[in-house]
Amino acid sequence: MHNSEFRKYYMMAYPFFVLWAIGWTFEADYWWCYWWMRLCLLGFVYLSWQYSKRYIFDDNLGITIPFGIYLATKTWMYFTWFFYILPHINSGLIHLAFFANTALLMYHFYMAVKCDPGFIQTNRQQQSKVILDLAELETISVEQFCSTCIIHKPLRSKHCSTCNKCVAKFDHHCPWIFNCVGASNTRHFILYLTYLIGMILWCSYGCVTFWRNGCATDEDKWVKIAVDRIRCSPWVTWIFLNCCIHLLFVGVLLGNMLYQTVYLGLTTNERINLYRYKHFSRNSAFYNPYSRGILQNCVDVMEVECGGLCRPVKTDWRNIYSLPGEQETV
Protein backbone atom coordinates (compact mmCIF):
# COMPACT_ATOMS: atom_id res chain seq x y z
CA MET A 1 0.00 0.00 0.00
CA HIS A 2 2.80 2.44 0.88
CA ASN A 3 6.40 2.55 -0.22
CA SER A 4 9.15 1.87 2.28
CA GLU A 5 10.24 5.51 2.51
CA PHE A 6 6.73 6.64 3.49
CA ARG A 7 6.47 3.84 6.05
CA LYS A 8 9.78 4.85 7.63
CA TYR A 9 8.84 8.51 8.07
CA TYR A 10 5.32 7.63 9.19
CA MET A 11 6.69 5.38 11.95
CA MET A 12 9.04 8.17 13.01
CA ALA A 13 6.26 10.77 13.05
CA TYR A 14 3.58 8.65 14.74
CA PRO A 15 4.95 9.10 18.33
CA PHE A 16 4.67 12.90 17.90
CA PHE A 17 0.92 12.55 17.43
CA VAL A 18 0.39 10.01 20.22
CA LEU A 19 2.33 11.95 22.86
CA TRP A 20 0.57 15.19 21.90
CA ALA A 21 -2.89 13.58 21.84
CA ILE A 22 -2.53 12.03 25.31
CA GLY A 23 -1.22 15.25 26.87
CA TRP A 24 -3.68 17.57 25.11
CA THR A 25 -6.67 15.36 25.99
CA PHE A 26 -6.18 16.09 29.69
CA GLU A 27 -4.83 19.61 29.22
CA ALA A 28 -7.67 20.99 27.12
CA ASP A 29 -9.93 23.05 29.39
CA TYR A 30 -11.95 25.16 27.02
CA TRP A 31 -15.70 25.67 27.11
CA TRP A 32 -16.10 23.97 23.75
CA CYS A 33 -13.97 20.94 24.67
CA TYR A 34 -16.54 18.62 26.21
CA TRP A 35 -15.69 15.26 27.71
CA TRP A 36 -16.97 13.43 24.64
CA MET A 37 -14.52 15.36 22.44
CA ARG A 38 -11.64 14.17 24.56
CA LEU A 39 -12.99 10.65 24.50
CA CYS A 40 -13.24 10.83 20.71
CA LEU A 41 -9.62 11.95 20.47
CA LEU A 42 -8.43 9.01 22.57
CA GLY A 43 -10.61 6.72 20.47
CA PHE A 44 -9.03 8.14 17.33
CA VAL A 45 -5.59 7.42 18.76
CA TYR A 46 -6.62 3.82 19.35
CA LEU A 47 -8.11 3.44 15.85
CA SER A 48 -5.06 5.04 14.24
CA TRP A 49 -2.86 2.56 16.09
CA GLN A 50 -4.93 -0.40 14.90
CA TYR A 51 -4.95 0.91 11.32
CA SER A 52 -1.23 1.60 11.37
CA LYS A 53 -0.43 -1.86 12.75
CA ARG A 54 -2.45 -3.49 10.00
CA TYR A 55 -1.61 -1.41 6.95
CA ILE A 56 1.51 0.72 7.53
CA PHE A 57 3.84 -0.63 10.21
CA ASP A 58 6.31 -3.18 8.87
CA ASP A 59 9.15 -5.36 10.11
CA ASN A 60 11.31 -2.26 10.71
CA LEU A 61 8.98 -0.98 13.44
CA GLY A 62 11.31 -2.09 16.24
CA ILE A 63 14.29 -0.17 14.85
CA THR A 64 12.41 2.88 13.52
CA ILE A 65 9.80 3.88 16.08
CA PRO A 66 12.30 4.21 18.99
CA PHE A 67 14.04 6.94 17.01
CA GLY A 68 10.67 8.65 16.54
CA ILE A 69 9.91 8.30 20.27
CA TYR A 70 13.19 10.00 21.12
CA LEU A 71 12.57 12.89 18.72
CA ALA A 72 8.96 13.27 19.87
CA THR A 73 9.61 13.27 23.61
CA LYS A 74 12.47 15.75 23.33
CA THR A 75 10.48 18.00 20.98
CA TRP A 76 7.54 18.17 23.40
CA MET A 77 9.92 18.71 26.34
CA TYR A 78 11.42 21.71 24.57
CA PHE A 79 7.93 22.91 23.65
CA THR A 80 7.00 22.74 27.34
CA TRP A 81 10.15 24.64 28.35
CA PHE A 82 9.50 27.51 25.95
CA PHE A 83 5.72 27.85 26.30
CA TYR A 84 5.11 26.83 29.92
CA ILE A 85 8.31 26.99 31.94
CA LEU A 86 10.26 29.90 30.43
CA PRO A 87 8.07 32.70 31.92
CA HIS A 88 8.70 31.29 35.41
CA ILE A 89 12.52 31.16 35.15
CA ASN A 90 14.02 34.49 36.18
CA SER A 91 17.69 33.53 36.31
CA GLY A 92 19.80 34.31 33.25
CA LEU A 93 22.38 31.80 34.45
CA ILE A 94 19.81 28.99 34.32
CA HIS A 95 18.85 29.97 30.77
CA LEU A 96 22.52 30.02 29.77
CA ALA A 97 23.18 26.58 31.30
CA PHE A 98 20.05 25.15 29.67
CA PHE A 99 20.95 26.39 26.19
CA ALA A 100 24.61 25.36 26.58
CA ASN A 101 23.45 21.84 27.49
CA THR A 102 21.09 21.92 24.50
CA ALA A 103 23.87 22.90 22.09
CA LEU A 104 26.15 20.11 23.33
CA LEU A 105 23.27 17.60 23.27
CA MET A 106 22.40 18.48 19.66
CA TYR A 107 26.04 18.29 18.55
CA HIS A 108 26.78 14.89 20.04
CA PHE A 109 23.39 13.53 18.97
CA TYR A 110 24.10 14.63 15.40
CA MET A 111 27.57 13.08 15.49
CA ALA A 112 26.29 9.80 17.00
CA VAL A 113 23.61 9.56 14.29
CA LYS A 114 25.54 10.77 11.25
CA CYS A 115 29.09 9.68 12.08
CA ASP A 116 30.44 6.54 10.42
CA PRO A 117 30.59 4.22 13.46
CA GLY A 118 33.46 2.26 11.94
CA PHE A 119 32.07 0.55 8.86
CA ILE A 120 34.73 -1.67 7.31
CA GLN A 121 35.13 -0.92 3.63
CA THR A 122 36.29 -3.44 1.05
CA ASN A 123 36.59 -3.93 -2.69
CA ARG A 124 36.49 -6.83 -5.12
CA GLN A 125 40.26 -7.30 -5.10
CA GLN A 126 40.38 -7.53 -1.31
CA GLN A 127 37.43 -9.91 -1.28
CA SER A 128 39.21 -12.21 -3.77
CA LYS A 129 42.30 -12.23 -1.55
CA VAL A 130 40.21 -13.07 1.52
CA ILE A 131 38.57 -16.01 -0.26
CA LEU A 132 42.00 -17.24 -1.33
CA ASP A 133 43.36 -16.91 2.23
CA LEU A 134 40.36 -18.78 3.63
CA ALA A 135 39.97 -21.58 1.09
CA GLU A 136 43.49 -22.30 -0.15
CA LEU A 137 46.13 -20.74 2.06
CA GLU A 138 44.08 -21.27 5.24
CA THR A 139 45.68 -18.24 6.87
CA ILE A 140 42.35 -17.11 8.33
CA SER A 141 39.74 -19.17 10.15
CA VAL A 142 36.01 -19.37 9.57
CA GLU A 143 35.48 -17.34 12.78
CA GLN A 144 37.53 -14.50 11.28
CA PHE A 145 35.53 -14.50 8.05
CA CYS A 146 32.32 -12.56 7.35
CA SER A 147 30.35 -14.44 4.70
CA THR A 148 28.10 -11.43 4.05
CA CYS A 149 30.75 -8.74 3.53
CA ILE A 150 33.38 -11.28 2.39
CA ILE A 151 36.11 -9.77 4.55
CA HIS A 152 38.69 -10.82 7.08
CA LYS A 153 37.06 -9.48 10.23
CA PRO A 154 39.34 -7.34 12.43
CA LEU A 155 39.46 -7.98 16.16
CA ARG A 156 36.43 -6.67 18.07
CA SER A 157 34.41 -6.24 14.87
CA LYS A 158 31.02 -7.76 14.14
CA HIS A 159 28.53 -7.79 11.31
CA CYS A 160 25.45 -5.67 12.03
CA SER A 161 22.37 -7.32 10.58
CA THR A 162 20.46 -4.02 10.64
CA CYS A 163 23.07 -1.92 8.82
CA ASN A 164 24.21 -4.98 6.83
CA LYS A 165 27.86 -4.00 7.33
CA CYS A 166 30.74 -5.06 9.53
CA VAL A 167 31.57 -2.49 12.20
CA ALA A 168 34.98 -2.02 13.82
CA LYS A 169 34.92 -2.38 17.63
CA PHE A 170 31.20 -3.06 17.41
CA ASP A 171 29.28 -2.26 20.58
CA HIS A 172 25.63 -2.52 19.57
CA HIS A 173 23.09 -1.19 17.11
CA CYS A 174 21.09 1.52 18.83
CA PRO A 175 17.59 2.25 17.48
CA TRP A 176 17.53 5.49 19.52
CA ILE A 177 20.18 6.98 17.21
CA PHE A 178 19.28 4.91 14.12
CA ASN A 179 22.92 3.87 13.87
CA CYS A 180 25.53 1.46 15.22
CA VAL A 181 27.79 2.34 18.12
CA GLY A 182 31.34 1.44 17.21
CA ALA A 183 34.98 2.54 17.11
CA SER A 184 34.32 6.01 15.70
CA ASN A 185 31.26 7.21 17.60
CA THR A 186 31.33 5.57 21.07
CA ARG A 187 32.62 8.83 22.58
CA HIS A 188 29.84 10.84 20.95
CA PHE A 189 27.23 8.29 22.07
CA ILE A 190 28.35 8.45 25.71
CA LEU A 191 28.43 12.26 25.70
CA TYR A 192 25.05 12.33 23.98
CA LEU A 193 23.59 10.23 26.81
CA THR A 194 25.28 12.47 29.39
CA TYR A 195 23.84 15.70 27.98
CA LEU A 196 20.49 13.99 27.41
CA ILE A 197 20.32 13.28 31.15
CA GLY A 198 21.23 16.94 31.71
CA MET A 199 18.38 18.05 29.46
CA ILE A 200 15.90 15.75 31.23
CA LEU A 201 17.00 17.06 34.63
CA TRP A 202 16.62 20.66 33.45
CA CYS A 203 13.14 19.94 32.13
CA SER A 204 12.20 18.24 35.42
CA TYR A 205 13.50 21.25 37.33
CA GLY A 206 11.46 23.50 35.05
CA CYS A 207 8.28 21.52 35.71
CA VAL A 208 8.78 21.82 39.48
CA THR A 209 9.47 25.56 39.11
CA PHE A 210 6.28 25.94 37.06
CA TRP A 211 4.25 24.23 39.79
CA ARG A 212 5.77 26.38 42.52
CA ASN A 213 5.36 29.72 40.75
CA GLY A 214 2.33 29.14 38.56
CA CYS A 215 0.16 26.79 40.59
CA ALA A 216 -0.56 28.35 43.95
CA THR A 217 -2.45 26.19 46.46
CA ASP A 218 -3.73 26.61 50.01
CA GLU A 219 -3.60 22.90 50.75
CA ASP A 220 -1.13 21.53 53.30
CA LYS A 221 -1.40 17.82 52.62
CA TRP A 222 0.95 16.55 49.92
CA VAL A 223 -1.75 14.42 48.25
CA LYS A 224 -4.06 17.41 47.80
CA ILE A 225 -1.10 19.57 46.70
CA ALA A 226 -0.23 17.00 44.06
CA VAL A 227 -3.85 16.87 42.83
CA ASP A 228 -4.03 20.66 42.61
CA ARG A 229 -0.81 20.84 40.61
CA ILE A 230 -1.93 18.11 38.25
CA ARG A 231 -5.17 20.00 37.66
CA CYS A 232 -3.23 23.23 37.20
CA SER A 233 -1.56 21.82 34.07
CA PRO A 234 -2.04 18.18 33.13
CA TRP A 235 0.29 18.77 30.17
CA VAL A 236 3.23 19.73 32.43
CA THR A 237 2.45 16.69 34.60
CA TRP A 238 2.46 14.48 31.49
CA ILE A 239 5.85 15.87 30.43
CA PHE A 240 7.22 15.47 33.96
CA LEU A 241 6.11 11.81 33.91
CA ASN A 242 7.93 11.36 30.60
CA CYS A 243 11.02 12.96 32.16
CA CYS A 244 10.98 10.46 35.03
CA ILE A 245 10.63 7.47 32.71
CA HIS A 246 13.38 8.67 30.38
CA LEU A 247 15.68 9.58 33.25
CA LEU A 248 15.46 6.02 34.54
CA PHE A 249 15.99 4.46 31.13
CA VAL A 250 18.80 6.76 29.96
CA GLY A 251 20.49 6.61 33.36
CA VAL A 252 20.62 2.81 33.24
CA LEU A 253 21.90 2.90 29.64
CA LEU A 254 24.64 5.43 30.45
CA GLY A 255 25.66 3.58 33.61
CA ASN A 256 25.87 0.32 31.67
CA MET A 257 27.97 1.92 28.90
CA LEU A 258 30.41 3.44 31.40
CA TYR A 259 30.64 0.21 33.38
CA GLN A 260 31.44 -1.81 30.28
CA THR A 261 33.72 0.56 28.38
CA VAL A 262 35.55 2.21 31.30
CA TYR A 263 35.47 -0.28 34.18
CA LEU A 264 35.61 -3.54 32.21
CA GLY A 265 37.20 -2.29 28.99
CA LEU A 266 34.67 -4.27 26.93
CA THR A 267 32.02 -3.57 24.34
CA THR A 268 28.41 -4.65 24.80
CA ASN A 269 28.87 -7.33 22.14
CA GLU A 270 31.98 -8.69 23.86
CA ARG A 271 30.35 -8.79 27.26
CA ILE A 272 27.33 -10.68 25.92
CA ASN A 273 29.44 -13.11 23.88
CA LEU A 274 32.45 -13.61 26.16
CA TYR A 275 32.24 -17.39 25.78
CA ARG A 276 32.71 -17.09 22.01
CA TYR A 277 36.07 -15.31 22.21
CA LYS A 278 38.97 -17.46 23.38
CA HIS A 279 41.27 -14.51 24.10
CA PHE A 280 39.06 -13.52 27.09
CA SER A 281 40.13 -16.63 28.97
CA ARG A 282 43.55 -17.40 30.44
CA ASN A 283 44.16 -20.38 32.72
CA SER A 284 40.39 -20.92 32.98
CA ALA A 285 39.92 -17.39 34.35
CA PHE A 286 38.59 -14.19 32.81
CA TYR A 287 41.28 -12.09 31.18
CA ASN A 288 40.79 -8.91 29.16
CA PRO A 289 43.71 -8.10 26.84
CA TYR A 290 42.08 -4.79 25.86
CA SER A 291 41.68 -3.23 29.32
CA ARG A 292 44.36 -0.73 30.39
CA GLY A 293 42.89 0.13 33.77
CA ILE A 294 39.88 2.27 34.62
CA LEU A 295 41.59 5.64 34.23
CA GLN A 296 43.35 4.83 30.96
CA ASN A 297 40.22 3.13 29.57
CA CYS A 298 38.33 6.37 30.23
CA VAL A 299 41.08 8.44 28.57
CA ASP A 300 41.09 6.16 25.52
CA VAL A 301 37.31 5.94 25.07
CA MET A 302 36.63 9.63 25.65
CA GLU A 303 39.82 10.73 23.83
CA VAL A 304 40.74 13.01 26.71
CA GLU A 305 44.00 14.92 26.33
CA CYS A 306 43.72 17.79 28.86
CA GLY A 307 46.40 19.86 27.15
CA GLY A 308 48.81 16.94 26.96
CA LEU A 309 48.36 15.70 30.54
CA CYS A 310 46.56 12.61 29.26
CA ARG A 311 47.61 10.48 26.33
CA PRO A 312 44.79 8.50 24.75
CA VAL A 313 45.80 5.57 22.57
CA LYS A 314 44.06 6.01 19.23
CA THR A 315 43.80 2.52 17.78
CA ASP A 316 42.61 1.93 14.23
CA TRP A 317 40.36 -1.04 14.95
CA ARG A 318 39.58 -1.41 11.26
CA ASN A 319 43.07 -2.86 10.72
CA ILE A 320 43.86 -4.84 13.88
CA TYR A 321 43.66 -8.56 13.20
CA SER A 322 45.64 -10.10 16.06
CA LEU A 323 46.56 -9.47 19.67
CA PRO A 324 50.02 -8.16 20.59
CA GLY A 325 52.55 -10.99 20.45
CA GLU A 326 50.54 -12.95 17.90
CA GLN A 327 51.30 -13.20 14.21
CA GLU A 328 49.28 -10.55 12.39
CA THR A 329 47.51 -11.27 9.17
CA VAL A 330 46.31 -8.33 7.10
- 3-state SS of the chain is CCCHHHHHHHHHHHHHHHHHHHHHHHHCCCCCCCHHHHHHHHHHHHHHHHHHHHHCCCCCHHHHHHHHHHHHHHHHHHHHHHHHHHHHCCCHHHHHHHHHHHHHHHHHHHHHHHCCCCECCCCHHHHHHHHHHHHHHCCCCHHHEECCCCEECCCCCEEECCCCEEECCCCEEECCCCEEECCCCHHHHHHHHHHHHHHHHHHHHHHHHHHHHHCCCCCCCHHHHHHHHHHHCHHHHHHHHHHHHHHHHHHHHHHHHHHHHHHHCCCHHHHHCHHHCHHHEECCEECCCCCCCHHHHHHHHHCCCHHHCCCCCCCCCCCCCCCCCCCCCC
Q: Are 30 and 87 in contact (CB under 8 A)?
A: no
- Which residues does the annotation mark as catalytic? 174
| Contacts with 158 (C-beta within 8 Å, 6 or more apart), sequence order | 166, 167, 170, 269
Distance CA 105, CA 192 (A): 6
